[in-house]
Amino acid sequence: MADTGKRRISILGSTGSIGVNTLDVVDQLGGREAFDVVAITGNANIALLAEQAKACGASLAVTADDAQYSALKDALAGSDIEVAAGRDALIEAGARDSDWVMAAIVGTAGLAPTLAAAQRGADIALANKECLVSAGELFINAVAEGGGRLIPVDSEHSAIFQSLEDDQHHAVERIVLTASGGPFRTWTREAMAGVTVETARAHPNWSMGLKISIGSASMFNKALEMIEAKHLFDLRPDQIEVIVHPQSVIHSMVGYTDGSVLAQLGCPDMRTAIGYALTYPNRPKLNVERLDFAKLARLDFEAPDEVRFPALRLARTALERGGVQGAAMNAAEETSFHAFCAGRIGFLNMADITEQVMDSMADYGAATTMDEVFTADAEARRRAGEIIAKNEMAA
Ligand SMILES: NC(=O)c1ccc[n+]([C@@H]2O[C@H](COP(=O)([O-])OP(=O)(O)OC[C@H]3O[C@@H](n4cnc5c(N)ncnc54)[C@H](OP(=O)(O)O)[C@@H]3O)[C@@H](O)[C@H]2O)c1
């Protein structure tokens, strides 16, 4: 690509909820006048991927699904946009030279392409928490060795990032991750046992992709965020707190040794965190709703219930055990999530299965290479799959 003097960006997972919001922010901040879009990627939504590629003038459009190559090629016929498909092409999208990469693929599928971007020194705007949950320090080290910056996009981690004072890491006592509590915040376990995908995906405040919406209902998303926070901010497990805050206005907080607590607030709109990640350390001018405190009137808080929401307890277990527990938890939860969506298991089984897999891999040592992370991930998926199949046979 010729050097146009514009910021060169790529969006991994452009067809998802974060991806669509990222393209909106890019448009708000000047669109094609200000940015060269090097690569965008999707999976199943070929019509949207093609439409986005034409609208933003992407040089490369990739679908992760080999079988969709012809459909994407046809949809982009007559344009000069390069088309590719499959896992290697996804990695190529991350590896292709750009200054900034939004990592917004859902699940562990995002790890290899994000890693490729990190290794060549791109700034990584990290929405895909699974990179850190699975690969932890190895991923942090890859970014550091590449020389790019790691800028969190998850609203909680962006809030913490924004509330951290320069050079005051030694004075950080704790971080407090806020959680909306999801649609089942006040439900009993008995009531949760029979819920459907449709009820579980109806988040009270945020509009998000399916996986993270179900993860918010089970609080597995918060559990993954606890592990993400540990690695992003180099914290001990006892420094990570979770508080349920149903309005989702305080996005998270940092508590300091002098008793001060700094927080970042805003309407629940991911474009604020995405915009900050795109323009950091500056703040962009964004057309998003402003908080109206008089209308808001009050902010509520309650302690999380780790009996009704065991995912939080499992995150603490993973943090305390170390080893490959993050990769095992992430992979087992992802496998159970797919089984829940396919109607093969109930809502509460997701935590049971994840716990069984984590326990069965408790004595695995920490991964020292990315290959070992991928091996642990595959093993956890195999074990989760086996438990799901056994349960089905017994039913
Ligand atoms: N949504 C939010 O508000 C939010 C907030 C904080 C963090 N995050 C994190 O951001 C990530 C993305 O979340 P999302 O809500 O945007 O998800 P989403 O709406 O489900 O979008 C996921 C993206 O990944 C693509 N994809 C799906 N399966 C894939 C595969 N096997 N290989 C490669 N690409 C694949 C999808 O393509 P198709 O749609 O074309 O199939 C889509 O572009 C997650 O890690 C999530 O935890 C999201």
DSSP assigned state of 343: T
CA of 128 to the centre of ligand 1 (A): 8
DSSP assigned state of 6: S
187 in the same domain as 147: no
Give yes or no for a contact between 153 and 270, defined as CB atoms under 8 angstroms apart.
yes
Inside any domain, residue 282: no
Q: How far apart are CA 142 and CA 115, in angstroms?
A: 7
Inside any domain, residue 272: no
Q: Pseudo-torsion of CA 26, 268, 319, 111, nearest 10°?
A: -30
Inside any domain, residue 279: no
Ligand 1: atom nearest CA of 48 is 40
11 has pLDDT over 90: yes
214 in the same domain as 130: no
245 in the same domain as 140: no
Cα–Cα distances (Å) from 18 to 78, 206, 274, in that order, read 28, 12, 8
245 in the same domain as 159: yes
Q: How confident is the model over 323-364, as pLDDT tens digits?
A: 999 999 999 999 999 999 999 999 999 999 999 999 999 999
* pLDDT computed for residue 166 by the predictor: 86
* pLDDT computed for residue 281 by the predictor: 95
**Residue 76: band (very low, low, confident or very high) from pLDDT cuts 50, 70, 90:** very high
338 in the same domain as 238: no
Residue position matching structure tokens 């990190």: 118
19 lines ligand 1 (CB under 6 A): yes
* pLDDT computed for residue 280 by the predictor: 97
CA of 17 to the centre of ligand 1 (A): 7
Inside any domain, residue 37: yes
Give yes or no for a contact between 118 and 124, defined as CB atoms under 8 angstroms apart.
yes
256 lines ligand 1 (CB under 6 A): no
At 57, the amino acid letter reads G
351 in the same domain as 223: no
Q: How far apart are CA 361 and CA 372, in angstroms?
A: 13
207 has pLDDT over 90: no
CA of 105 to the centre of ligand 1 (A): 4
CA of 132 to the centre of ligand 1 (A): 15
Cis geometry, peptide bond prior to residue 281 (ω within 30 degrees of 0): yes
* pLDDT computed for residue 98 by the predictor: 98
141 has pLDDT over 80: yes
97 in the same domain as 145: yes
Q: Which residues of 227-258 are buried (b: 16+ CB within 10 A; e: fewer)?
A: bbbbbbbebeeebbbbbbbbbbbbbbbbbbee
Q: How confident is the model over 266-285, as pLDDT tens digits?
A: 999 999 999 999 999 999 99
CA of 255 to the centre of ligand 1 (A): 31
- Percentage of the chain lying above the pLDDT 90 cut: 95
Which neighbouring-strand residues pair with 123? 100
244 in the same domain as 347: no
147: helix, strand or coil = coil
Residue position matching structure tokens 């452009």: 14
What angle, rounded to 10 degrees, do the helices at 349-360 and 325-341 form?
150
2 has pLDDT over 70: no
Inside any domain, residue 338: yes
Q: How far apart are CA 318 and CA 355, in angstroms?
A: 10
E strands of 26-184, at which residues? 35-42, 60-63, 82-85, 100-103, 123-126, 150-152, 172-179
Q: Give the domain CATH number at 391.
A: 1.10.1740.10
CA of 122 to the centre of ligand 1 (A): 20
31 in the same domain as 49: yes
Q: What are phi and psi of 174, to 5 degrees?
A: -160, 160
Inside any domain, residue 117: yes
Q: How confident is the model over 279-313, as pLDDT tens digits?
A: 999 999 999 999 999 999 999 999 999 999 999 99
131 in the same domain as 118: yes
The residue segments making up the domain with residue 37 are 7-152
Q: Among positive and negative, which fits the CA dihedral 112, 226, 217, 359?
A: positive
Ligand 1: atom nearest CA of 14 is 43
Round the average pLDDT of the chain to a whole number and report it.
97
Which residue, by CA, sits nearest to atom 33 of ligand 1?
A: 64
Q: How far apart are CA 117 and CA 122, in angstroms?
A: 6
Q: Give the domain CATH number at 26.
A: 3.40.50.720
206 has pLDDT over 90: no
Give yes or no for a contact between 54 and 19, defined as CB atoms under 8 angstroms apart.
no
Which residue, by CA, sits nearest to atom 15 of ligand 1?
A: 209
186 in the same domain as 48: no
Name the residue with higher pLDDT: 395 or 96.
96
Q: How far apart are CA 331 and CA 384, in angstroms?
A: 8
Domain end position, chosen among 307, 334, 364: 307
172 in the same domain as 242: yes
Give yes or no for a contact between 203 and 215, defined as CB atoms under 8 angstroms apart.
no
Q: How confident is the model over 216-262, as pLDDT tens digits?
A: 999 999 999 999 999 999 999 999 999 999 999 999 999 999 999 99
Cα–Cα distances (Å) from 256 to 89, 162, 164, 169, 170, in that order, read 45, 14, 9, 9, 9
* pLDDT computed for residue 1 by the predictor: 59
Which region among 54-58, 205-209, 279-283 has the lowest average model confidence (pLDDT)? 205-209
What is the DSSP secondary-structure string of 80-111?
Answer: --EEEESHHHHHHHHHS--SEEEE---SGGGH
Helix H or strand E segment including 133: helix 130-146
Inside any domain, residue 341: yes
Domain end position, chosen among 152, 169, 184: 152
With the most atoms of ligand 1 within 8 angstroms of its CB, the residue from 11, 18, 330 to mutate is: 18
Q: Report, as an integer, the average pLDDT of 150-177.
A: 96
Inside any domain, residue 18: yes
* pLDDT computed for residue 3 by the predictor: 72
* pLDDT computed for residue 279 by the predictor: 98
Structural domains counted in the chain: 3
